[in-house]
Structure 1
């Protein structure tokens, strides 16, 4: 198995997966502002590849994020989920507007979707992918080094000296990623 080292290699891995491309195409149809599919959608694909899994590890949801300061209602997010469900009914959609998620996360307002991604708890989760005019784009505010090496570490916002560090620890405990991907290195 060839290890992934660059964003271009990560894009190639995603582009070769018909299921992922189909999901990306359907999200692109919505034309949501500053939209990305993030977190486990990419992380699990890379970790499955690192672990040479024959089958995809099931995902709890497909995280779609966007940034819209005008329509902040969570009802608007639900409408987008319903629209995506019309396209792909068997996909567990989760759509969140990063322009309002700072309230949920008790932080300063985010300036964009990528700023929201940068505030995710773990570095390998803090990644997004999208199709923009049919072209794959990656958003990795903390890089892809941890992701492709199978290292789980907190983002700067959730470091050990932060009051939010406990959130990181609880997610690592609750997610139990090492039960699905035994080669992971988890930083405590």
Structure 2
């Protein structure tokens, strides 16, 4: 097995241990699994903040939970709202945000996404582009276009395919450096794409 694959396996195992020790997050995974969403995942801060909290010995809590799925048939906001209501019934203390990625390209001026992997790979930060779900046998499944290495490295990495001002605005708006001052911002060369990126 390649070294990169070994590192990835180790990091997913470490992240899984954190998830299994977090009762609220585990209930969220169970609630989302029960819906049986097509290409459904919990993404963004659900994993990003969990790892950063552990890495920097911080406790930020779970402000909201971002769920993505991919359904090219039902593209209305009403379907997302119904799913949010179902999740709120199962786990009412959590603020649920559900978005069908089959329609979100319209909001951000992108070409249609192929699936949720394609969609979250457009997030402005590598560390935010991470998803997880509970599989049918109680095992965790991962959606990691950039792996988990950046999360565990304690970095805040600009996605080079997203305009840098988008990344900079989010860093300021989200106050990540105030919450986790040890984070190290990493900016690579910005690619040619000039559109925005999905919310997370």
Matched with 2:70 is 67
Give the paired residue count: 178
Q: Secondary structure of 2:93's match?
A: coil
Matched with 1:14 is 19
CA RMSD of aligned residues (A): 1.4
Measured against aligned partners, the alpha-carbon deviations of 1:29-80 in whole angstroms (never above 9, x if no partner) come to: 1111000001011111100001113xx3134421000000001101110000
Matched with 2:185 is 186
Q: Which of structure 1's runs of 4+ aligned residues deviate more than 3 A? A: none
Alignment map for 1:28-177 (pairs within 5 Å): 28-53=33-58, 56-133=59-136, 134-158=138-162, 164-177=163-176
Matched with 2:193 is none
Q: Secondary structure of 2:66's match?
A: strand
TM-score by length of 2: 0.85
Offset of residue 156 of structure 1: 3.5
Matched with 1:161 is none
Work out the CA distance in 1 between the residues paired with 2:178 and 2:152. Answer: 18
Work out the CA distance in 2 between the residues paired with 1:25 and 1:117. Answer: 22
Q: Secondary structure of 2:123's match?
A: coil
Native 8 Å contact 1:123 1:155 kept in 2: yes
Offset of residue 20 of structure 1: 1.0
Native 8 Å contact 1:39 1:63 kept in 2: yes
TM-score by length of 1: 0.90
Name whichever of 148-157 and 113-122 sits farther off: 148-157
Work out the CA distance in 2 between the residues paired with 1:182 and 1:153. Answer: 14
Work out the CA distance in 2 between the residues paired with 1:76 and 1:36. Answer: 16
Work out the CA distance in 2 between the residues paired with 1:89 and 1:10. Answer: 25
Measured against aligned partners, the alpha-carbon deviations of 1:95-138 in whole angstroms (never above 9, x if no partner) come to: 00011111111111111111111111100000001011021112
